[in-house]
A and B are shown apart, each in its own frame.
Chain A
């Protein structure tokens, strides 16, 4: 069941069941793919999120009521179990040396090793991308790792920082202000120079973290610089 509403005069918002839930996010992705295939006149961009999908359109080519009926017709036909492209699986190496790691461990009454073990144990879904270009909102963490944002955000979180907040985990693609708890650092650029393919993640990706030592971190950095990094280690 979706709730359709106008978002301004050039977008239409489709709200699914409002919960952070993999099945609901699957429905968002399935509908996005199905609607893209329809090539609806005037639709410019799709913005999927946790449990909503926004279509931005050209108001000179279409309007809210026309799009709403077109979407309604398509929605009724979507079967998310079958419509999906298979999600991509990615493994991201992380050096668990974040400035907040000890504090998080303390807070959750765990050993640092246990925090790392729990963070790397399961794969997480990319629910949406926002806040910064390429920033993946991933989840859900287990309850044992849930923590609130820092009360005073940092003015500068280094690019590559692996962070957690609430039941979400993410990676800062750029140096930016931020309030998430920083538990590690990845050498893998989330946001790349390559203009044809700048974003590492997209909605629906399944991401697993792999702990590495500083030595391997430095090696990967060197390989990336020399354009010798084997990206196959990330995918698959």
Chain B
């Protein structure tokens, strides 16, 4: 029996947005793909509530919102552990949870990871833009007015009473270390970097600075012996592309990054590792390992197999 559920945000959290698989296909018009930064967690959470894999979810960043449910609902949380609680009691992650009418979901301390994904069973009633309800780039935020969560906002979801209980076993739940290796393929301008600069890039960890958001993560430590060549003529960049600015600082691009740029591209994080990148935050340390196209493809296939298995 269909019913309408409203969720009310008593507190918005640090950076809470609605995300789905994004709006691919408009990069030629300057529109970034966007979408959940950790697509695996998004898909798993949706599966746990039997929503389509790329149904909308709430992407919650580091500091969570306080959400009141007007009706009972089935929810699931995957991704970072931000001490989720229902009416003050610990709320388990990685399983279907039924919340009762009038209950409140809140969060505590960030324990692990960076972003957690809240799936709620049902059809989210939101204004899409270019086929997606992912929060549009900030300057175009009014195209997706419901997708940037502010205090006092409410979201409507058409849901039903179908009860589904699922769980993802512990061994299949990702862990989120604060120092990790990301696999990258060579960037188009790698060959413009000196051997010392390249060696430096691959030989040590880079700390994520405080300038880290859905557009990009700026890394500390300038690359040694980096001689800034003239800026390149703008061409396309993708999430995962690692640009190096004039001062030798690297920026790892994220889903809301601009679609073009003029900085040299030293490397690109492989698609299979973007989910893990999305679970890192300022202060964490990234190491880069060079792989080739075949290894990148295999990694992507492995990731897909793992997701299917869960």
> Which of chain A's residues have a CB closer than 8 A to the CB of B269?
8
Structural contact, A7 and B236, CB atoms closer than 8 A: yes
Q: Is B130 an interface residue (CB 8 A)?
A: yes
Q: Is B223 an interface residue (CB 8 A)?
A: no
Which of the segments B25-33, B92-100, B104-112 contacts the partner chain?
Answer: B25-33
Q: Is A203 an interface residue (CB 8 A)?
A: yes
Complex interface bits, B7-47 against A, C-beta within 8 A gives 1, otherwise 0: 00000000000000000111111110000000000000000
Give CA–CA (A10, B272) in the complex, Å. Answer: 11
Q: Which of A15, A137, A198 has the most CB of B within 10 A?
A: A198
Which of the segments B145-153, B155-163, B195-203, B293-301 contacts the partner chain?
Answer: B293-301
Measured as residues with beta carbon below 8 angstroms from the partner, the interface class of chain B is: 35 or more
Complex interface bits, B227-262 against A, C-beta within 8 A gives 1, otherwise 0: 000001111111011000000000000000011100
Structural contact, A129 and B30, CB atoms closer than 8 A: yes
Q: Is B218 an interface residue (CB 8 A)?
A: no
Structural contact, A8 and B233, CB atoms closer than 8 A: no
Q: Is A63 an interface residue (CB 8 A)?
A: yes
Measured as residues with beta carbon below 8 angstroms from the partner, the interface class of chain A is: 35 or more
Taking the nearest CB of chain B, how far is it from the CB of A167, in angstroms?
A: 12
Q: Is B308 an interface residue (CB 8 A)?
A: no
> Contacts A47-B28, A59-B300, A191-B140; is A9 near B293 (CB within 8 Å)?
yes
Q: Is B139 an interface residue (CB 8 A)?
A: yes
Selected from A49, A65, A134, A175, the residue in CB contact (under 8 A) with B233 is A49
Give CA–CA (A182, B24) in the complex, Å. Answer: 31
Structural contact, B240 and A130, CB atoms closer than 8 A: no
Q: Is B74 an interface residue (CB 8 A)?
A: no
Q: Is B64 an interface residue (CB 8 A)?
A: no
Taking the nearest CB of chain A, how far is it from the CB of B144, in angstroms?
A: 12
B87-132 with Cβ < 8 A to chain A: 129-130
Structural contact, B297 and A63, CB atoms closer than 8 A: yes
Q: Is A20 an interface residue (CB 8 A)?
A: yes
Give CA–CA (A195, B268) in the complex, Å. Answer: 32
> Which of chain A's residues have a CB closer than 8 A to the CB of B185?
6, 8-9
Structural contact, A129 and B28, CB atoms closer than 8 A: yes
Q: Is B271 an interface residue (CB 8 A)?
A: yes
Which of the segments A50-58, A82-90, A103-111, A117-125 contacts the partner chain?
Answer: A50-58
Residue of A nearest to B190 (CB): A5
Q: Is B265 an interface residue (CB 8 A)?
A: yes
Structural contact, B233 and A51, CB atoms closer than 8 A: yes
> Which of chain A's residues have a CB closer than 8 A to the CB of B234?
49-50, 128, 130, 137
Selected from A9, A11, A137, A198, the residue in CB contact (under 8 A) with B270 is A9
* Residues of chain A having any CB pair with chain B under 8 Å: 5-11, 13, 15, 18-20, 44-52, 54, 56, 59-60, 63-65, 128-135, 137, 174-176, 191, 195, 198-199, 202-203
13 A-B pairs with CB atoms under 8 Å apart are A7-B237, A10-B271, A44-B25, A45-B25, A45-B28, A47-B27, A129-B30, A132-B137, A132-B140, A132-B258, A134-B29, A198-B29, A203-B28
* Residues of chain B having any CB pair with chain A under 8 Å: 24-31, 129-130, 136-137, 139-140, 185-188, 232-238, 240-241, 258-260, 265, 268-271, 293, 296-297, 300-301, 304
